[in-house]
């Protein structure tokens, strides 16, 4: 009788369908450029990324943890929880622009981005770092130092880097909203095209 009971349990377990694996997650931690400021839902490059992944046959789920106005300080305050909750396989970091616009020390921006990379990797995630450039009216010394931050991070952490905005976009006002800062809907596919090659290399790992 006992043998029959255990046999029934085994058969029942075998008949129970296995729970499907959760799709791998790509976490985007950025500011208004990734949060879709001024755009209709679904127009931002992050939303377009989810569509591109599906079209290309990738099963990844994109989590957009970007916040308008976010700084690298804010990203550091939020990343531990974001990593714990979403357990991403890839983290795309798009931060530093608001730090620069506030004229914060580039050493602080670099240190914060370094910590964001380290924390992400400690949780097993690959990292893609998106570069930011300051407007020329901030002066050649600051803009040059800010640009060097991303060169130094790439060399120190051997992290792949992509420019979210190419010169073709950054220098054409037709790609911007009325504020002259935030890319419009027309620019979003171009932003994604700038990110995609580096991201696809991580997806192939």
95, 113 Cβ separation under 8 angstroms: yes
Catalytic center residues:
32, 179, 182
In the chain, alpha helices (H)? 2-15, 32-35, 45-55, 72-86, 97-101, 106-122, 140-157, 167-170, 188-203
Q: Residue 151: what are its φ and ψ, rounded to 5°?
A: -65, -40
95, 75 Cβ separation under 8 angstroms: yes
What is the distance between the alpha carbons of residues 156 and 141, in angstroms, rounded to a whole number?
Answer: 22
């Amino acid at each position: 009788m006992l043998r029959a009971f255990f046999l029934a349990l085994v058969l029942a377990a075998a008949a129970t369908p296995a729970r499907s694996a959760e799709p791998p997650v790509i976490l985007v931690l950025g500011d208004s450029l990734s949060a879709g400021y001024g755009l209709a839902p679904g127009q931002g490059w992050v939303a377009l990324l989810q569509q591109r992944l599906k079209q290309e046959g990738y099963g990844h789920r994109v989590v957009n943890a970007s916040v308008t106005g976010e700084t690298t300080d804010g990203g550091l305050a939020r990343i531990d929880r974001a990593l714990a909750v979403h357990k991403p396989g890839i983290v795309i970091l798009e931060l530093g622009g608001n730090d620069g616009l506030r004229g914060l020390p580039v050493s602080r921006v670099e240190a914060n981005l370094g910590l964001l990379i380290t924390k992400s990797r400690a949780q097993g995630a690959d990292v893609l770092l998106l570069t930011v450039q300051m407007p020329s009216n901030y002066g050649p010394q600051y803009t040059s130092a800010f640009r060097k931050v991303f060169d130094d991070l790439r060399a120190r952490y051997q992290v792949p880097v992509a420019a979210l905005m190419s010169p073709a976009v950054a220098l054409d006002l037709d790609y911007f909203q009325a504020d002259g800062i935030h890319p419009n809907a027309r620019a979003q596919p171009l932003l994604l095209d700038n990110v995609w090659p580096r991201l696809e290399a991580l997806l192939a790992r």
